[in-house]
Structure 1
Amino acid sequence: MSDSPWTDRIVGARMTVDQEFTSRIVESQFSSQQWSLIMTATEFEIEHPDDPDRARIVANTEKVEQIIPELENVGTGMGMGGQPQGQQGGSSSGGVLGSIKGALGLGGGDSGDSHAEQERAAEQLTQEYADELQSHLESNGRWDSVRQAAATEE
């Protein structure tokens, strides 16, 4: 559904929401590069587009599970001061110390648990993004036309 006409209508809105959502990404466990990968694997759909009271944008994250292992390889280049790029100091995402602890078997949990946690966090964050996108469309008076365009595609 990602190449549908209703999604073409919201390209500008998505760019605006992307900029506004940047601070939320900074606060998350994901780097901007990781977020980009997550968004590439996420498709947005409109549930119940023919019902104005129930219609809402939802994040379809079926494909996110496939990219979770790759998140560890994205944005892990070292930046200034030995801090992994895209990572905040004191972050719970691991970094060099987490890698050392993991190599020593002190990581506290296996990668399956970590992957499940990352997947849940990605699903939650993408739905927050979808909610922000819908709110943006509503506040600009564009939601009804987008919703109606999605309804005609079904």
Structure 2
Amino acid sequence: MRYPDFLAYELLNKYDETGEEKYLLKAESIIEDQEPDLRSIPMIRYRFGAFENLHESLSLLVSKGLVYRDGNKSDETIKAYYYYITPLSVQLVEDVTAEFPSLAWYDERAKLVKEIAGSLGGSALKERQYKHMSYATTQLGTQIPSIKNEVINRLKALNRAK
């Protein structure tokens, strides 16, 4: 969701794979609605891919009862944290979306991302990202660049081929 142009690119890959027009149309709408310009939230490339320290954001959600954190302990050392949404967060999202319908965009995008990602886990999705040269060649510590122009060119080529 943070890089709508990368989502559009993956939608075009899904279109190439399946031939389902809905993926092409959704990629076109992302570009036509200028989502890469209006909705991108840049991330920094770190050692193992895109990175952002989530502790502050998640701690706020935990403190408000919107997220529950569970630690995976081994020998009294926490190896990993797992975060779960609470019924309160589900209700909040429903209430806020009813009051501000434009926020439904986030729910729609989350569902679309889930559909494209399928059952792939974080490592497999990271491998998929690294297959894209502009992502793979981004210098460590710098912003991952937009691929909007590449998506536009793919859309033009697909439309010419029709």
> Considering the TM-score relative to the shorter chain, is it more than 0.5?
no
Structure number with higher relative contact order (C-alpha < 8 Å, ≥ 6 residues apart): 1
* Between structures 1 and 2, the one with greater strand share: 2
- TM-score under structure 1 length normalisation: 0.30
- TM-score under structure 2 length normalisation: 0.29
